[in-house]
Amino acid sequence: MTAWWACDAFNLSLERDCLSAAATRQPLSSRLASVMKNGYSRKPLEFIVLFSNIAIVLTVGACDLLHMDYVPTPSELRESKRYAEFIVEETHLQGIYANQDVDSVIFTYKTNIIDEKSFWIQMDKVARDHEWKMLPSEVNIRRYERIMPRTGKTVFYSAEEVRIACQPETMTITVAWVQADESKTINSFTDTYESGFADAVVWPKFNELIIQ
């Protein structure tokens, strides 16, 4: 019992050192050096513990390298065939957020359209022309959804939701878009796994921007 308790204590201490190094975002080589400086006896069980913790550090390092969030460039936004239709008579286009794992993007721009009413007339037409369906919306905000069925050329059903806000004082437009793939039949974007990501990450970021 005493031997197992000592091993657990050793493991906990080493894990704390590893995760502390990871939390400070030290380079991977520094994290490994930090582990090796802790000292250990050469008992087989402690070797197992040591290399288990090194595996943790390597995993954290890999996550750093594969970080999925990024900021899209204006040219990337303009050239997209998935949501560029919502960029209308723009100036000062700015990427805010995108994710490489869950297809999603947030961006803002100022439009040369002179007033809010004219903007929404044009935006509604753009949405209809690209097979988007309007969802229940709020003042100064539109929500559109597009469900694309699986065909002989595609493996998955596609579900998308986009939210667009217009600040009439400055004619600043904020757009948030998320896309999901599903192997089963879906009736709404909310039926997808990615809708949970949107609720946790994308829509809150969108809401923060429009209340500033």
Same domain for 137 and 35: no
Query: What confidence score (pLDDT) does residue 18 get?
Result: 40
End position of a domain, from candidates 42, 65, 88: 65
For residue 7, pLDDT beyond 60: no
Q: Are residues 158 and 199 in the same domain?
A: yes
Q: Clarify whether residues 147 and 85 are in a common domain.
A: yes
- For 126, the domain range is 69-210
Q: What is the pLDDT of residues 94-122, one digit of tens each?
A: 999 999 999 999 999 999 999 999 999 99
CA distance 206 to 142: 12
Average pLDDT over residues 58-78: 72
- The predicted-structure confidence for 141-165, as pLDDT tens digits, reads as follows 999 999 998 776 667 889 999 999 9
In the listed set 47, 65, 83, which residue is the last one of a domain according to the structure?
65
pLDDT at residue number 183:
87
Number of domains in the chain: 2
73/30 same-domain check: no
Rounded Cα distance between 126 and 89, Å, is 12
Nearest to 25 by CA among 82, 67, 83: 67
Classify residue 89 by its DSSP letter: S
Task: Let me know whether 99 and 135 are in one domain.
Answer: yes
Residues 120, 147 within the same domain? yes
Same domain, 43 and 146: no
Residues 60 and 88 in one domain: no
Nearest to 123 by CA among 166, 172, 180, 76: 166
